[in-house]
């Protein structure tokens, strides 16, 4: 069987994602649950949650993001290894959730991170997060991720230049 080299790279990428150890609020409990024997995240090659962002390539934002935390989260993301992926877990991370419109809450983590997959729910069940991980793997295989990241980086570059002008 002959496999194109790029196909081999994509296969390796999608089956060896290492999440950065990271939880912000109640959604993090559901995130922790996918590590147990019932849901068994190890099936996806993701059993190792890395304590250092430099050894991780996927960030699962699980919980409410406050304005104070946003800078720290972005710094962790910047320190992660490329290519890297982001899953926004729960309505708080995606749109501010019940705190939407408050002075302290970011109305969606995609204001400062390129989110690849969103998970609905408050909180989403571990099954929903597993489904999101499978969707991310599909996007990696179909090479949708690189295009999405390129678009996001172009938008971020333009935004920074417009702020400086």
Task: Decide: is 126 part of the binding site for ligand SF4 (CB under 6 A).
Answer: no
**Of residues 123, 132, 133, 136, which one binds ligand SF4 by CB under 6 A?**
123
- CA 9 to chain CA centroid, nearest Å: 20
Q: Which of 32, 120, 122, 134 binds ligand SF4 (CB under 6 A)?
A: 122
User: Which 10-29 positions form the footprint of ligand SF4 (CB under 6 A)?
Assistant: 25-27
Let me know: does 88 contact 109? Beta carbons within 8 Å.
Answer: yes
By 3-state DSSP, what share of the chain in percent is helix, strand and coil, each rounded to 5? 50, 10, 35
* 95 contributes a contact to ligand SF4 by CB under 6 A: no
Q: Is 53 in the site for ligand SF4 (CB under 6 A)?
A: no
Query: 50: which residues sit within 8 A by CB, 6+ positions away?
Result: 18, 19, 20, 21, 56
Interaction site with ligand SF4 (CB under 6 A): 25-27, 63-64, 90-92, 97-98, 122-123
């Amino acid at each position: 069987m002959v496999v194109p080299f790029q196909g081999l790279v994509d296969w390796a990428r999608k089956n060896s994602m290492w999440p950065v150890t990271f939880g912000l609020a109640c959604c993090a409990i559901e995130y922790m649950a996918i590590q147990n024997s019932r849901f068994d995240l190890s099936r996806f090659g993701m059993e190792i949650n890395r304590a250092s962002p430099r050894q991780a390539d996927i960030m699962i934002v699980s919980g409410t993001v406050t304005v104070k935390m946003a800078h720290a989260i972005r710094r962790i993301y910047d320190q992660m290894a490329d290519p890297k992926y982001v899953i926004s877990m729960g309505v708080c991370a995606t749109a501010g959730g019940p705190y939407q419109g408050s002075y302290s809450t970011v109305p969606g983590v995609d204001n400062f991170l390129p989110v690849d997959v969103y998970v609905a729910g408050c909180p989403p069940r571990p099954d929903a997060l597993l489904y999101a991980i499978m969707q991310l793997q599909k996007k990696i295989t179909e090479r949708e991720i690189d295009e999405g990241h390129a678009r996001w980086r172009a938008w971020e570059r333009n935004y920074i230049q417009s702020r400086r002008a």
